[in-house]
Structure 1
């Protein structure tokens, strides 16, 4: 009998105040510093007193690394700076909201974020682009949270745990007013479609990352 794929666990608590949310964030940050070899720490989403806790699977890290390698090649070919944050905590106490996507990227404000280990949205601009890997559905409206935080663009990779994880779907959303619009191309890289990103992920899985990166670099050189 085939062993079932592991699943993510989500727990939602009500009536959690901001102070407790901050305490949990600090506790998790301390745990990750003590155990630097693990990525399986809880991630939090907070929305005006409701707290969702999720334990990510290793697939989150695999997808993050693939997308990051794609972005590194693209920005290198464009001679464009890129500053990345893995699992950044994006929160605003005045709005009583917070979330932790798989990654956040700066292209326009790299100079302002130079040397900063964390993002403080009280003084820092929001990332130009964030990546969300979804292996299970959140009970929160993450788009509403990200819209209030002013995130211009969201990439969502939706799949299921297991051997076929890299056969998922990718969606590009950009902020238009106070809501997100789904499009085939985004704002940060208008020449790069969701289909081309999926092609890169699939090629990495089938033919290996080095060849996928070489082909991607050639594609950018002849396309942009």
Structure 2
């Protein structure tokens, strides 16, 4: 009789190449927290947890430029409008026993004052006002944002920017951003990202700033 025993291997030892996505079902909240601790903070991978499913993905290198560029565009727009903000990068946001997610970038805008000087999130901290993702198409990630209550999520993928607004507990796709109601974000950002591949990020951002000035 042959007995097949399960093999247990730490998640941190799983080698993921850029562009890889691993989905692990039936993960409890305690297991999720343990995996987060095991993976540590200094890593390229991003996680999403929802409905007992853990998703780990490693962005492609060509996603780094759009991520940084879109973050810089948000900063330019906020500065142009005279609005203050606190950037929180790829901080891990969690709603205990329910969901967890790590954006490529995120911003506190309405709640920026509350988050000044915050080194670690507190249980009663609000979600960021805007989260940015550059290669997400999975339901796990979008549902995690929904449960955590992020009011606006931008997803940039394959030359297109989708704007999702949280309305009555569900995300609705929109052509406009309520944070920047007078700017055609869905058109300008893809144009600027494509321009950056041609002339470099600095010039593309300069051109963007001139276009909205």
Does 2:115 correspond to 1:113? yes
Kept in 2: contact 1:102–1:132 (CA 8 A): yes
The residue that corresponds to 2:7 in the other structure is none
RMSD after superposition: 1.9
The residue that corresponds to 2:101 in the other structure is 99
> Which whole-Å CA distance do the structure 1 matches of 2:63 and 2:203 have between them?
22
Residues 184-223 of structure 1: per-residue CA shift (max 9 Å, x gap)? 11111112220011122122222222222222222222xx
Give TM-score, length-normalised by structure 1. 0.79
> Which whole-Å CA distance do the structure 2 matches of 1:155 and 1:174 have between them?
9
**Match among 69, 75, 79 for residue 66 of structure 1:** 69
Alignment of 1:121-160 (within 5 A): 122-134=123-135, 137-138=137-138, 140-159=139-158
Structure 1: tracts of 5 or more residues without a match? 1-5, 33-38, 160-167
Kept in 2: contact 1:143–1:179 (CA 8 A): no
> Which whole-Å CA distance do the structure 1 matches of 2:107 and 2:134 have between them?
15
SS at match of 2:208: helix
**Match among 86, 92, 95 for residue 89 of structure 1:** 92
Q: Compute the displacement of 1:119 (Å).
A: 3.4
SS at match of 1:86: coil
Could you say which structure has the larger radius of gyration? 2
Deviates more, 1:65-74 or 1:140-149: 140-149
The residue that corresponds to 2:49 in the other structure is 46
Q: Flag the 1:23–1:114 CA change in 2: closer, same or farther, 3 A.
A: same
Q: Compute the displacement of 1:178 (Å).
A: 1.3
Give TM-score, length-normalised by structure 2. 0.83
SS at match of 1:134: coil
Does 2:184 correspond to 1:189? no
> Which whole-Å CA distance do the structure 2 matches of 1:118 and 1:148 have between them?
20
Q: Compute the displacement of 1:125 (Å).
A: 0.9
SS at match of 1:91: strand
Q: Compute the displacement of 1:128 (Å).
A: 0.6
Residues 44-97 of structure 1: per-residue CA shift (max 9 Å, x gap)? 211132211212222332222101111121111112112112212111114x21
Kept in 2: contact 1:60–1:102 (CA 8 A): no
Q: Compute the displacement of 1:129 (Å).
A: 0.6
Residues 21-46 of structure 1: per-residue CA shift (max 9 Å, x gap)? 1111122225x1xxxxxx53x32211
**Match among 17, 21, 25 for residue 10 of structure 1:** 21
> Which whole-Å CA distance do the structure 2 matches of 1:46 and 1:170 have between them?
23
> Which whole-Å CA distance do the structure 2 matches of 1:126 and 1:134 have between them?
21
